[in-house]
Amino acid sequence: MSDDVTMDKIVSLSRRRGFVFPSSEIYGGMGSTFDYGHYGVLMKNNIRERWFEAMVRNRDDIVAIDSAVILHPRVWEASGHVAGFTDPLIDCRTCKLRFRADKLEDSSCGRKPSKHPGETPECDLTEPRRFNLMFETTVGALQEEGSRAYLRPETAQGIFINFKNVLQIARRKPPFGIAQIGKSFRNEITPGNFLFRVREFEQMEMEFFVPPDEAEKWYRYWIDERLNWYRRYGLRDSKLRVREHGPDERSHYSQGTSDIEYDYPIGWSELEGIANRGDFDLTQHAEHSTTKLEYVGQDGERYVPYVIEPAVSIERIMVALIVDAYDEEVVGERERTVLRLHPKMAPVTAAILPLIGKSDEMVAKARSLYEDLRRRHSVEYDDGGAIGRRYRRQDEIGTPWAFTVDEQTLQDDTVTVRDRDSLAQERIPIAGVRDWLEDALERDWKSPKGN
């Protein structure tokens, strides 16, 4: 098995197999913006679904919310984003490129041979200035001062401003959480590395409200929970680590932040952040909106809860999963590319293939199995071309199993199941396929690439 995965290989596979396309390509492209094709959509659905299941459906203490993208502009004043959600920006007067002052080490100068900005004698860098990452827009027909609004740069604020609604209507008591999935927008100075840093992304955030003296305990708890979620879905231990931020690195609201990092082809980088936001957000919104945002117990006890926040984007998970799963190997003198994805993350759970696409009987049996399975699972029917080619197409999109209808099926109503990773084939009765698949999906799974 190979672990020689580059971002280029991932980009090329994603495009070739229709996971992700560069956006607006027929107009020359729009840098660092992507459109998702069929398999990309299916995989994103799986990531979203697995997160929601772990964070909301399987718990008693977390509820969901779906807030607006464009909130009252004062939300972003209260949250500190208008004043402080900035990156330090540097321009080069020579090559006209723009860099993040805190990421010069990771940037390349526009001159050849490429060096870091500031390293060639011709580099003429400006002093750093603060650049706000929020996209501005105007609401209503008039472009006047009062109509300025922002596209949300995080989903969290939509949760804080609904704290009171949830507390009252969902009758919750700390510790409890509110979870949200939705698009966030950031005008990143240096987007790039495929989906890793994009200007619009789908965030999955959960704000967990706790009594202040329990904040540290819950902060540790959520680091463990989230790390275990990644392990459960197959990311290898050797590629995951937790890195605690130093005090100078933390955001303005944070009392403690840890990143779950993944060893991407660009090196160890933040996959997910877990922050102890203290009572910063509720206190700020209470002050700016003059609405009390606190918990009052039946015995009269009252306090502003602290908040623990696990925050991640579907994009960063998707890149980590594909990178972790990507493999190339030679089987019987032929090379194959295979995505060894966790079966519950793979876009297609099973392929149903008639061995001979021109055989009406095989096609009929295969179609009938497909129509039965598709009511519950993401499955694909394919009768085009040589069977080897069809298997390899499924390997490339990470389909864990293929059920093949062949001559023998017509005699005894059994099919073969081919395993994507081991390539082993076994025969099972057609009538048992549905149960077989349910069982297989519930089995513990470990990456065949090892730890």
Rounded to 5 degrees, φ, ψ at 432 are: -100, 0
Told to check if 46 binds ligand ATP by CB under 6 A, we report no
Whether residue 271 contacts residue 260, with contact meaning beta carbons closer than 8 Å, is answered with: yes
Maximal C-alpha separation, the chain: 78
Cβ 186 to ligand ATP, closest distance in Å? 5
Which of left, alpha, beta for 400 (phi over 0: left; psi -120 to 50: alpha)? alpha
315 near ligand ATP, rule: CB under 6 A? yes
Measured from the CB atom, the residue of 250 and 336 that comes closer to ligand ATP is 250
Asked if residue 312 binds ligand ATP (CB under 6 A), the reply is yes
CB of 200: closest distance to ligand ATP in angstroms? 8
Give the residue closest to ligand ATP by C-beta.
313
Interface region with ligand ATP, contact rule CB under 6 A, candidates 5-13, 226-234, 277-285, 310-318: 310-318
Residue with tokens 């321009």: 91
Among residues 193, 156, 191, 178, the alpha carbon closest in space to that of 318 is found at 193
Q: How near is the Cβ of 82 to ligand ATP at its closest, in Å?
A: 16
Q: Is 256 in the site for ligand ATP (CB under 6 A)?
A: no
Q: Which residues, including other chains, have CB under 8 Å from residue 271's CB and lie 6 or more apart?
A: 230, 240, 259, 260, 261, 262, 312, 316, 317, 320
**In the Cβ-directed half-sphere of 96, how many Cα atoms lie within 13 Å?**
0
Residue 272 makes contact with ligand ATP by CB under 6 A: yes
DSSP assignment of 336-355 equals: EEEE---TTTSS-SEEEEES
- Return d(Cα 89, Cα 98) in angstroms, integer: 7
Q: How far is the CB of 336 from ligand ATP (least distance, A)?
A: 30
CB of 50 to ligand ATP, least distance (A): 15
- Does 198 contact ligand ATP by CB under 6 A? yes
273 sits near ligand ATP (criterion: CB under 6 A): yes
Least Cα distance to 293 among 150, 157, 184, 179 occurs for: 157
Contact status: 311 vs ligand ATP (CB under 6 A)? yes
Range in contact with ligand ATP (rule: CB under 6 A) among 21-29, 60-68, 308-316, 378-386: 308-316
**Least distance (Å) from ligand ATP to the CB of residue 250?**
10
d(CA 196, CA 407): 47
Q: Per CB under 6 A, which region of 96-104, 164-172, 194-202, 220-228 contacts ligand ATP? A: 194-202
Comparison of 184 and 404: residue with beta carbon closer to ligand ATP: 184
- The angle that helices 38-52 and 314-325 make with each other, rounded to 10 degrees, is 110
Q: Does residue 186 interact with ligand ATP by CB under 6 A?
A: yes
Residue 197 vs 344, nearer CB to ligand ATP: 197
- Least distance from ligand ATP to the Cβ atom of residue 130, Å: 15
203 binds ligand ATP (CB under 6 A): yes
C-alpha–C-alpha distance, residues 263 and 323, integer Å: 9
Looking at the Cβ atoms of 186 and 390, the one nearer to ligand ATP is 186
Residues 6+ apart with CB under 8 A from 281: 79, 156, 157, 160, 253, 307
Alpha-carbon gap, residue 437 to 375, rounded angstroms:
13
Applying CB under 6 A, the span of 117-125, 280-288, 309-317, 374-382 interacting with ligand ATP comes to 309-317
Backbone angles phi, psi at 99, to 5 degrees: -135, 160
Q: What is the C-alpha to C-alpha distance for residues 223 and 163, in angstroms, rounded to an integer?
A: 23
User: How many CB atoms sit inside 10 A of residue 252's CB?
Assistant: 12
Residue 270 is a binding residue for ligand ATP (CB under 6 A): yes
Stretch that binds ligand ATP, among 54-62, 235-243, 306-314, 399-407 (CB under 6 A): 306-314
Instruction: Give me the least distance between CB of 166 and ligand ATP, in Å please.
Output: 21
Q: Which two tokens stand for residue 421?
A: 């990773």
Q: How far is the CB of 195 from ligand ATP (least distance, A)?
A: 7
- Nearer residue to ligand ATP within complex by CB, 315 or 327: 315
Q: How far apart are CA 61 and CA 47, in angstroms?
A: 21
Stretch (H or E) spanning 200: strand 200-210
Q: Which is nearer to ligand ATP, 167 or 311 (CB)?
A: 311
Rg over CA atoms, the chain: 25
Question: Using the rule CB under 6 A, which residue among 172, 226, 316, 390 binds ligand ATP?
Answer: 316
User: Least distance from C-beta 203 to ligand ATP, angstroms?
Assistant: 5
Q: How far is the CB of 318 from ligand ATP (least distance, A)?
A: 10
- Give the nearer residue to ligand ATP in terms of CB position, either 107 or 313: 313
Give me the residues that bind ligand ATP (CB under 6 A), please: 186, 188, 197-198, 201, 203, 270, 272-273, 311-313, 315-316
